[in-house]
Structure 1
Amino acid sequence: MCLKAVFVVALQSMLFVSANYSNENAEIFHKLSELENKVSVLTGKLESCKCSTSEDDSITREGRAIPEGRQSQIAFHVRLTHNIVNLGIHQSIEFDKVLLNDGNGYSIYSGHFVAPVSGLYVFAWTISSGDYHCIVYDVVKNNEMLVYSISDANDHRDWAVSSGTAVTRMNAGDRVWIRVSNIEIACSHYVYGTGLGTSSFAGYILN
């Protein structure tokens, strides 16, 4: 009787495992069937789509992919949210508040705008200082100075604001940023960022 009982228990265990395994297989097959149906639908939509997926229809630069026809939507607008004191020579002003970054050309980590595609670009900026401080700065492209300017309140208690615009032709991968100038003028290189748009930087592709 003991052997018979053991045999019956073993047989029941095998049937139980087999049933569970069958249920798991049925569930897996069901999910696979659903996935196959979804893939079939997506494949049909892809084949009926008029857009092309060739590499020639997108331009990739430093991890930025710009679909064909989207170059006209490259634009950025950033501003500073805090004051920066004692910037070093050639140190970038890193505008930390992104208001617009179509094309992903601007980086808050470097303060640089990298052109995703070649074209004619327009840049504009406002740099503020004040209260017995000043900043001398350059707007540069690939380390070549485009504009030199100063916001100077070094001898008075008030705001000092300078603004400007530059137009330049850029190749994909070229960089533009604002940095502290190395021109020898006694200056604390203090940038105001409090308030909305106190110090800001913007640009867009013209064509």
Structure 2
Amino acid sequence: MESRMLMLFMLFLFSYSVLACDTGEEIRKIHEILEHQQSQILKLQNENKLLRKKVDISNEISSTVEQTNLTPEDSEGKAVLQKRVEYPKQSTHNKHAVLQDKGAVPASEPQIVAFSAYMSKTEDNPSSHHTLVFDIAQTNIGNAYNKYTGSFVAPVAGVYVFALTIYSGDNGKTFFNILVNNSVYGGTYGETDHVCCDTDSDSGTLVVSLNQGDTVYIRSFRQANTQIRSNDTYGSKTTFAGWKLN
């Protein structure tokens, strides 16, 4: 009887020991599972934060696209932003203000300069170094020609063209130069071979680069021994003209 009781007691101790071991193993496994789940939770939280940042960036880009009317893709399907700017109608003052704000230099419109003038009366035998005065200005855009002095003063720098036609009387010769400031740039020479009632016309053209303030005029370099004619008998006028190319 005692031996049976001893065996039962030992069996109880063995069962308890096995049960205790199994319980400890289960607890350890539960701890491992909890640690793994905690690691997964942290990983998911980090991924969630990253996704939120990407969503915020995407929303910001979409907002920018809507505000500036951008096209999100080019012809090759790449993710680019192609800006299409449409300027609203503005007054001249506002356009200049926008350009100044951006540090840009507004393009100035080219200044139109042109004149055409003729002598209203005939001059007899002009002396040496005599400046012809073309006192009737038919055209004077830019007001650069002075009909009282016969001189053209360049209002702006640029390339200019000048043309003159001089009608002379019979029995004589004429000698004239085109001058820029005090330098000779061209001239005309006319001769009627001492033929009675003969007339002559001589023309000259000059293309020259001028600085602002340069003066152009027509002057004799020798005394003429005949008339410089300008009348309406045959529509013959002694003329001086010029214009700016650029």
Q: TM-score, normalised by structure 2?
A: 0.54
Which of 150, 166, 176 matches 1:137?
Answer: 176
The code of the aligned residue for 2:202 comes to S
Instruction: Compare the two structures and name the one with the higher helix fraction.
Output: 2
> d(CA) in 2 for partners of 1:51 and 1:200?
42
Q: Kindly indicate whether the alpha-carbon contact (under 8 Å) linking 1:79 and 1:197 is maintained by their aligned counterparts in 2.
A: no
Q: CA RMSD in A?
A: 2.1
| CA displacement at 1:83 relative to structure 2 | 0.2
Partner residue in 2 for 1:74: 113
Equivalent pair of 2:187/2:204 in contact (CA under 8 Å):
no
Identity %: 32
Q: How does 1:28-47 map to 2 (within 5 A)?
A: none
Structure 1 171/51 Cα, relative in aligned 2: closer, same or farther at 3 Å? farther
Unaligned runs of 5+ in 1: 1-47, 55-67
Q: What's the offset of the Cα at 1:154?
A: 4.8
Instruction: Pick closer, same or farther for the CA change 1:137–1:189 going to 2, 3 Å.
Output: farther
Q: Which runs of 5+ in 2 are unaligned?
A: 1-89, 97-107
Aligned length: 142
Correspondence 1:198 to 2:198: no
Is 1:187 aligned to residue 229 of structure 2? no
Shift of 1:164: 1.5
- Say yes or no: does 1:50 pair with 2:100: no
Where relative contact order (Cα < 8 A, 6+ residues apart) is larger, the structure is 1
Deviation of residue 197 (structure 1)? 4.8
Structure-2 separation of matches of 1:51 and 1:197: 49
With the length of structure 1 as denominator, give the TM-score of the two structures: 0.63
CA deviation profile, 1:156-188 (whole Å, cap 9, x unmatched): 121111011110000010011101114xxx732
Q: Any runs of at least 4 consecutive aligned residues in structure 1 with deviations exceeding 4 A, and if so which?
A: none
Deviation (angstroms), 1:146: 0.7
Matched residue type, 1:82: K
- For the pair shown, the structure with the greater C-alpha radius of gyration is 2
